[in-house]
Chains A and B, each alone.
Chain A
Amino acid sequence: MIPVFEIFLNFLKIGLFAFGGAYAVIPLIEEQMVTNTKWMTFAEFSDLIAIDELTPGPIIVNSSTFIGMKLGGVPGAIAATLACMLPGMIIALTLIRLYSKYKEIPVILEAIRVLRCMSVALIFSVLIKMFMAAVFPDGFALKDVSYLSLAMVILSFFVLKKYKVNPLLVMLVCGCINLIASFII
């Protein structure tokens, strides 16, 4: 069991820097939980992202509750969830007070824009890692490439982009295809 206070602090950090939409939190969780603290493996982290998509609610809340629960039971889940939203709440309250006075704050707007650029790069970086893990399940070697996964990634992307299908449905179909394939092969 990891001390509740430590869980709280780690998620406070994640909550503070999760700028740029729901997915911005994914690279932060990967770095903090997998690389820094080693509280999770990359495989567990990949599972978590899939579970986040399966369940309703903001990704950051889902992930914090899930990780907190795994690390420290219900108290851990409460600590992680509260910590991940506390910075956002405090900043929102500060901004709304400033806002009624100044309306627009150029420094903050610019900071948000730059942080959004950072988010694009970070999510792309995690995407590469997840793609590698999915397509080369046994390490990077051309003979080990999982053609089925590769085909599913490309097809899913095409379907998502072209027909705007619910991502949840796409993922469930991918899971089923993999199951069926494992029975055939």
Chain B
Amino acid sequence: MFKKAWLLFINTFSISMTANSGYAMLGVIKNRFVDKYGWFTKEEMEDFIALAQSCPGPIACSSATIIGYESCGIVGALAAVFGVILPPFLMMILVTFFYTFISTNATVRIFITGMQAGVCAMLLDVVLGLFSGVQKMNKPFYYVMIILSFLYVRLTPYSIFFLAMICIAIAVVKTLLFTKKVEESL
């Protein structure tokens, strides 16, 4: 069992060091654990990834938790998650040291200011990508939710966390009403 946990750690660590985005990581994870080690079938892995997407936080961590847990319990889950977060964690500690030293430098400031323009463009690309995901569901309800959430965050001083609770409550009510209707029609 500890050998398996060690293998999990080594693999997630090396994947995390080399892959840049969460989605790029998923591809490599699939590759290692399905094709190379044969611990899971392709279908199982697809289920895991779908589940991981239902969890908050980075998809890399939630998929590592699930894969680790399914291979050797809690120890595996912890080993896999630490493998995923250790490389960016260590790296960011170094980056923070550098940042505190160079962020006040005038040249560095001009460079970072320029980068902000690129960040805006990238965020716009991200928003449009997420929006096209909503479009695929093709229901006016979800568009209304986007508009209402936007109005909430722009116009009210209340917390996003409160908004998230409202969203969850709406989802629960909607599912309950919908399933009731199905039962009635039966």
Contacts and interface: CB of A to CB of B under 8 A. Distances in A.
A33 to B, nearest CB: 12
A114 B171 contact: yes
A89 B125 contact: no
B147 A156 contact: no
B7 interface: no
A118 B112 contact: no
Contact of B125 (A65, A161, A176): A161
Size bin of chain B's contact surface: 35 or more
Contacts of A168: 20
B160 A27 contact: yes
Contacts of A88: 55-58, 61-62, 65
Contacts of A149: 113-114, 116-117
A148 to B, nearest CB: 8
Contact of A23 (B16, B123, B137, B167): B123
A85 B100 CA distance: 25
A20 B148 CA distance: 17
Contacts, number: 314
A21 B59 contact: yes
Contacts of A107: 171-172, 175-176
Contact of A69 (B55, B93, B159, B179): B93
Contact of B122 (A53, A96, A134): A53
A153 to B, nearest CB: 5
A93 B175 contact: no
Nearest to A118: B149
Nearest to B144: A117
A9 interface: no
Interface of B: 16-17, 19-22, 47-48, 51-62, 65-66, 69-70, 74, 77, 81, 84-85, 87-89, 91-93, 95-96, 99-100, 103, 107, 110-127, 130-131, 133-134, 137, 142-143, 145-150, 152-154, 159-161, 163-164, 167-168, 170-172, 174-176, 179
16 contacts: A18-B58, A23-B130, A31-B160, A50-B116, A50-B119, A55-B92, A65-B96, A77-B96, A93-B74, A107-B172, A115-B167, A118-B146, A120-B149, A121-B150, A125-B150, A133-B116
Interface of A: 13, 15-23, 25-28, 31, 36, 46-47, 49-51, 53-62, 65-66, 69-70, 74, 77, 81, 84-85, 87-89, 91-93, 95-96, 99, 106-127, 130-131, 133-134, 137, 149, 152-157, 159-161, 167-168, 170-179, 182
